[in-house]
Amino acid sequence: MTARPRIAIIGAGWAGLAAAVELAGQAELTLFEAGREPGGRARRIAASGSLLDNGQHILIGAYRECLRLMRKVGVDEHRAMLRQPLAWQRQGGIQLCCPSWPAPWHVLAGLLRATGLGWPEKWQLARALQSLKWRRWRLAEDMTVARWLQLQHQSDWLVEQFWRPMVLSALNTPLEQASMQILATTLRDSLGGRRADSDLLLPRQDLSALFPAPAQRWLSQQGMCWHGGVRVEQVQAAAQGVLVDGQPFDAAIVAVAPYHAAALLQEPQLQAQVKAFAYWPIYTAYLRYDVDIAMPAPMMGLQGGTLDWLFDRQALSGERGLLAAVISAPPLELQALSREALLRKVEADVGELLPALNGLQPVAAQLIVEKRATFASTVGLTRPHCRSRVQSVYLAGDWLCPDYPATLEGAVRSGVTAARQLVQDLPSSRVASR
């Protein structure tokens, strides 16, 4: 009987874990992770004595591969996340709540009933979305979102109240730089799909409990070998298979951020492609008050404020008095502020959104800055193929998923794609049946 192939996975973010879950049962797996815990950019961290997510995340119903793999490792979606129909509630701006009707009526009804938008703007927005749908969500030539909005004659009000915050949330890239094709792909998968695809899934549990920790447990039960706290220095082709820091494997999946992949593989074409990637930060401010909090909705925005979205963590995960404020792709003037100054601005926004907290001092305040939170979803970004030019080495990570922004779903899809490609390329005698 032939031995099962030995496969190394480098990086236990959502992409690497997805690749491992996909390969389990077909190979002998070894997972190397530089951090002590799995989860990468979407995990729980210890910050000043408390456990917090390293950034507030949201998922949507269209994250099919995330949901499939969560189920596979035993996560109950309904316990793990609050599912609610698409809603957009920004104080001083647009308020839109879609009913649970079949698509596309839910969007149409939500738009017709929306407040903060005049009839001309509702018509402009519906027409712009419909024009994308008619073109099957593909542009003949990519351009910035800002340019496309001009061509669609979207009013300044609509751009500032709807498109700008939406593009920041979905792509973490300002619309003057953001790729319209990447935005169109996310709109296709959410608004262009079934009603449930546009649902918002708000985590009720911490990010590690959502997938990384159950995946790690499940993989260990399947016999995976876990090397946490191990930073791999080099991945090279060998006469047969690959060497991971000198250890032989039949194949490897490198599931790390672009800049780490370029350093690990020393492959000139990949290094050139990675140079084209730019990055944007995301700030998450956690404010804990010594009172019970009940926001009118679990996720709300503030038009013209510093924070983009505020999350009621007490309502979502039962953490008393805890709010999470997200600032996506913060402009340079915000990045230049001290932590204290930025937290004061966020506190002022919280006071506007929740007058009951006005004047109250939080008992704890934490600002988590992820400097390279996501790659910038810019125009003309080339994604490398998952089969690298180094023999028997495959690539995974959110940056590899074609036409997708940096998201959990992009990461998971890329991991699944790399795993399937690897299995397809192995001689059939080496593949164990599931």
Min CB(210)–ligand FAD separation in Å: 11
Which CB, 58 or 426, lies closer to ligand FAD? 58
Helix 164-171 vs helix 180-190: crossing angle, to nearest 10: 90
Secondary structure class of 233 (helix, strand, coil): coil
Which CB, 280 or 289, lies closer to ligand FAD? 280
> Are 429 and 413 spatial neighbours (Cβ–Cβ below 8 Å)?
no
Which CB, 349 or 398, lies closer to ligand FAD? 398
**What are the angstrom distances between the C-alpha of 318 and each of 184, 205, 302?**
35, 9, 23
Kind of pairing between the strands at 200-203 and 59-60: antiparallel
Min CB(82)–ligand FAD separation in Å: 14
Min CB(34)–ligand FAD separation in Å: 4
Min CB(189)–ligand FAD separation in Å: 12
Min CB(402)–ligand FAD separation in Å: 14
- CA distance linking residue 156 with residue 4, whole number of Å: 60
Which CB, 286 or 289, lies closer to ligand FAD? 286
Which CB, 40 or 116, lies closer to ligand FAD? 40
Min CB(156)–ligand FAD separation in Å: 27
- CA distance linking residue 347 with residue 370, whole number of Å: 20
Name the residues that contact ligand FAD, by CB under 6 A.
10-16, 32-35, 40-42, 55, 57-59, 231-232, 255-257, 260, 264, 282, 284, 370, 373-374, 397-398, 406-409, 411
Which CB, 233 or 290, lies closer to ligand FAD? 233
3-state DSSP percent of the chain in helix, strand and coil, to 5: 40, 25, 40
Q: Which residues contact 63 (CB under 8 A, 6 or more apart)?
A: 201, 407, 408, 409, 412
**E strand or H helix that includes residue 327:** strand 322-328
Secondary structure class of 288 (helix, strand, coil): strand
Which CB, 11 or 116, lies closer to ligand FAD? 11
Min CB(12)–ligand FAD separation in Å: 5
DSSP string, 377-390: -BTTPPPPPSB-SS
